[in-house]
Amino acid sequence: GQNIDQPTEMTATEGAIVQINCTYQTSGFNGLFWYQQHAGEAPTFLSYNVLDGLEEKGRFSSFLSRSKGYSYLLLKELQMKDSASYLCAVMDSNYQLIWGAGTKLIIKP
Amino acid sequence: NAGVTQTPKFQVLKTGQSMTLQCAQDMNHEYMSWYRQDPGMGLRLIHYSVGAGITDQGEVPNGYNVSRSTTEDFPLRLLSAAPSQTSVYFCASSLMDGNSGANVLTFGAGSRLTVL
């Protein structure tokens, strides 16, 4: 079957760096997405990786290793507003998205 | 440019009642979809559409119907509500790039449904 694994919850300190991991097993691969979802709100797009390597976008970076079925989202200079759930999703060979359950990130002052 | 608009934001139903969740987008997106989000689980696809007049089932279609008569609108109908359908429902849309998987979804604000 198809599976996306990510930690349920993580805690980090304001100003620090945190890495949220995502491992996947899917039928084919057409890209990996990260979305951010604040409590009670809709998911919003953060990043897309289809080739191996690191994509940097301001304080957020996303890394992909297709051979290992692994990605991470790196958040630097954490701010209180980064408290949210982070959703990993993989597009399979049929261009359908498979979603992880999300990682709830708690930022402490 | 409103993006994706969902109504209602909250709804309480009794078992057996029917209702329609409305979804409209003004971005001329070909692809539209409905997801449900439950605690501890990933988003699950209910139904989707790749254009007006075309709909297909997702992972959890039972108990739900959809139609796509226009590019803009994609309503989700609950035929006979059950407590298991208590959830948060999201409508999402995207352009469709057949040459890549980089089809970024834009989500509506969500509809929280409780079935008693």
Looking at the complex, report in whole angstroms how far the Cα of residue B42 sits from the nearest Cα belonging to chain A: 4
Q: What percent of chain A has pLDDT over 90?
A: 93
CA atoms within 13 A on the CB side of A94: 7
Dihedral angle of Cα B18, B61, B40, B104, to the nearest 10 degrees: -110
Cα separation, B101 vs A51, whole angstroms: 12
* Confidence check: pLDDT of A99 > 80: yes
| Distant-in-sequence, close-in-space partners of A56: CB < 8 Å, separation ≥ 6 | none
**Distance, first Cα to last Cα, chain B:** 36
Instruction: Please indicate whether, in this complex, the C-beta atoms of A42 and B43 are within 8 angstroms of each other.
Output: no
B94 touches chain A (CB under 8 A): no
**pLDDT tens figures, A61-98:** 999 999 999 999 999 999 999 999 999 999 988 888 99
Instruction: Please indicate whether, in this complex, the C-beta atoms of B108 and A98 are within 8 angstroms of each other.
Output: no
pLDDT for the residue numbered B99: 59
pLDDT for the residue numbered B63: 96
A90 touches chain B (CB under 8 A): no
Chain A neighbors of B106, CB-CB under 8 A: 45
Residue whose entry in the numeric block shows the structure tokens 């709100």: A41
pLDDT along chain B (116 residues), means of 10: 92 97 96 95 94 95 97 97 97 80 88 97
Cα separation, A99 vs A88, whole angstroms: 6
The pair of structure tokens assigned to B72 is 């803009």
pLDDT for the residue numbered A94: 84
